[in-house]
Amino acid sequence: MTDSEQKFELTVEKLCIRAGGSLLVENASLDLRSGELAVLLGPNGAGKTSLLRGILGLAPTATGSVRLQGRAFGEFNPQQRARRLSYLPQRRPLAWPSPVRDVVSLGRYAWGCAPGRLGAEDLGAVNAALAACDLLAMAERSTDTLSGGELARVHCARAFATEAPLLFADEPVASLDPRHRFRIMQLIRDHVSTGAGALVVLHDVSLAARFADRLIWMKEGRITADGPPTQTLTESRMAEIYQVQADINGNHVEITNPLP
């Protein structure tokens, strides 16, 4: 990874996203550095996906400042942005039954490649991503023959193959079994340990506490807390954010009752 020796820092200040008359995201400020895994938590409709899209430049109504290495992110063109920040969206449709290798190769799109037309460096990145996600044995298989867990790994590999210094993943473990949830988070953790920074949206608070360096808590479009799990994961925060009564013991979170 060539860019990872350099420290990357993404700074978001006072990001607002409007839709119709309401604010989806209100004055959100956060930063993300390489080598750091931050998890974004919050109930449905809190504005987590909107926040990611706003930072990525995919929400046309976003205002505020997003800077990467001090440079406004909006100054980069779509390809330059994609080389610095890879994005795993919440919905991950695959239109055609493409081979696994071709889907992962699309991670190199921003580097000017197409499946079947990869340079040596791109091929290396694709093979490394396939290996990291344990997909080498099924690289030539068609994606429509894979299980949900295998597909989730393919999408991760696609995002890793870009070798971008930063990664956004929106609910990467949704609808996966417990073992695969753990496995995908471990893959992202390993990716971070190679020097990347990751911002991951999760609904599984225990999983988040287990893997995250930082938890960013969101409710009704606002970031209400941001800090390590040991400091921010509390029973009162669970009540405030999710309106549930929870017993917390280290990383373990047991939800006992919904609050009225």
Partner 1 sequence: MSLRPLLIPALLLASLIALFGALLLGSTPMEASRVLAALAGMADATDVTVVWQVRLPRALAAFAVGLALGGSGAALQGLLRNPLAEPGVLGVSASASLGATFALYYGFFSVSAWLVPVAAVAGALLATMLIAAAAMRTSSVVTLILIGVGLSSFAGAAMSLLMNLAPNPFSLSDMINWMLGSVANRGFPDIVFAAPFIAAGLTILYAGRRGLTALTLGDEAAAGIGLDLRRQRLLVVAGAGLATGGAVALAGAIGFVGIVAPHIVRPLVDHDPARSLIPSALLAGLILVLADIGVRLLPTEFELKLGVVAALIGAPAFVWIAMQRRTISAEQG
- Integer Cα distance of 258 and 59 in angstroms: 33
Scan for tokens 């919905």, then name that residue: 91
- Integer Cα distance of 54 and 63 in angstroms: 8
The torsion of the CA quartet 252, 256, 259, 260, rounded to 10 degrees, works out to: 170
- For 21, the token pair is 């008359």
Cα 234 vs. chain centroid, distance in angstroms? 23
Q: Which residue among 88, 125, 184, 208 contacts partner 1 (CB under 8 A)?
A: 88
Site for partner 1 in 153-172 (CB under 8 A): 158, 162
Determine if 86 is a binding residue for partner 1 (CB under 8 A): yes
Shortest spacing between CB 118 and partner 1, in angstroms:
12
Shortest spacing between CB 52 and partner 1, in angstroms:
10
Determine if 115 is a binding residue for partner 1 (CB under 8 A): yes
Q: Which residue among 12, 38, 62, 102 contacts partner 1 (CB under 8 A)?
A: 102
Shortest spacing between CB 113 and partner 1, in angstroms:
9
Site for partner 1 in 28-47 (CB under 8 A): none
Q: Which is nearer to partner 1, 6 or 90 (CB)?
A: 90
Shortest spacing between CB 172 and partner 1, in angstroms:
12
The answer to whether 99 touches 142, Cβ cutoff 8 Å, is yes
Q: Which residue among 23, 67, 109, 150 contacts partner 1 (CB under 8 A)?
A: 109
Separation in Å, CA 160 to CA 43, 134, 141, 192: 27, 13, 19, 10
Determine if 21 is a binding residue for partner 1 (CB under 8 A): no
Rg (CA), the chain: 18
- Integer Cα distance of 122 and 151 in angstroms: 21
Determine if 83 is a binding residue for partner 1 (CB under 8 A): yes
Determine if 67 is a binding residue for partner 1 (CB under 8 A): no
Q: What is the DSSP string of 206-223?
A: HHHHHH-SEEEEEETTEE
Question: Which of 22-30, 94-102, 130-138, 242-250 is the region at the interface with partner 1 (rule: CB under 8 A)?
Answer: 94-102
Q: Which residue among 28, 103, 233, 248 contacts partner 1 (CB under 8 A)?
A: 103
Count CA atoms closer than 13 A to 31's CA, side-chain side: 11
Q: Which residue among 87, 160, 217, 242 contacts partner 1 (CB under 8 A)?
A: 87
Determine if 91 is a binding residue for partner 1 (CB under 8 A): yes
- For 12, the token pair is 């978001």
Determine if 192 is a binding residue for partner 1 (CB under 8 A): no
Helix (H) or strand (E) holding 153: helix 148-161
Q: List residues binding partner 1 (CB under 8 A).
A: 56, 58, 77-83, 86-89, 91-99, 102-103, 106-107, 109-110, 114-116, 142, 144, 158, 162
